[in-house]
Structure 1
Amino acid sequence: MKKINVYKRKGSESAVTLVTPVTCVGRVRTERVMGKKVGRHTRHRLEVIRIESEHKIQTDIMLALSKKGFTVFRSNAGRVRTESGQTIMLFPRGFPDLCGFRHSDGRFFCLEIKNAKGRLRPDQKLFAQFIKSFPVLYGVARSVDDALEVVNRE
């Protein structure tokens, strides 16, 4: 499949919409999409693929894991400035989005949530190398199925 355009869609739950041509017949005209000129065929069918936002994937994973008997915590990394001007350090940069444990044996897990196009930042790669030296279940999850695969490992 050949990508024509990638842009954010206003008012949509999906963060990114990929527009891919299936068949094209006709002249090309130019349109403005999100402020950029884009060539469009006058008659064609489009296949639209929606990529879910990381926030939605994270919420779906938290709900699914909770229903399956896991305790899950959302973690915030970085720094926050309070109203009084103080800076509070949260988890270190690169710390995974979700952590928790299995009720069956108490095994701890960490999940980094990414959408279909998301990549690990260098600080997240560094954390992944660090945590794999301990008996912790760690993985990158792009869906509920990915998350269940990671937390059900032995």
Structure 2
Amino acid sequence: MVQHLRPVGPDFAESAPVRLVFTRDVAAAPDAVFRALAEDVAGWPEWFSAVAAARPTEGGREVSLRGGARFRESVLVAKEPELYAYRVDVTNTPGARAWVEEWRLAPAGTGTRVRVTFALDGTAAFRLACRLLAPGVGRAVRNAVTALDRRLA
């Protein structure tokens, strides 16, 4: 069932009822990481194993995950090389009501500290599921960022 989510702004990343935050340092420079995130949308499945397909759209992207979750997203902020954030507008994920993902990139030595925030709201069951799935999501994000770093090397 397709759900249209509440249109929240980038500040939702700091105020959402559920915030999952994951960090990983990589050797790649912030500008290279930013370009991979913002400009090579179709390349996401090559380094993010949870992503089955991704394609850019006017003002956003469409993403399909392995397992069947689908998202239509709007880019909220694309501030090279430090911030890339997008909002999920439409999904088939049950119980979701609002969703922003934020990728913050900061210099870390000669590389980049990548901080990914999932800012979420939904039904009580959705919020609980997000919290229970956090360790697996964190592992997937850290593995993806490591794979991206290898790709950019």
For the pair shown, the structure with the greater C-alpha radius of gyration is 1
Give the TM-score normalised by the residue count of structure 1: 0.28
Quick check: which one's helix share is greater? 2
Q: Which has the higher contact order (CA 8 A, sep 6+)?
A: 2
Give the TM-score normalised by the residue count of structure 2: 0.28
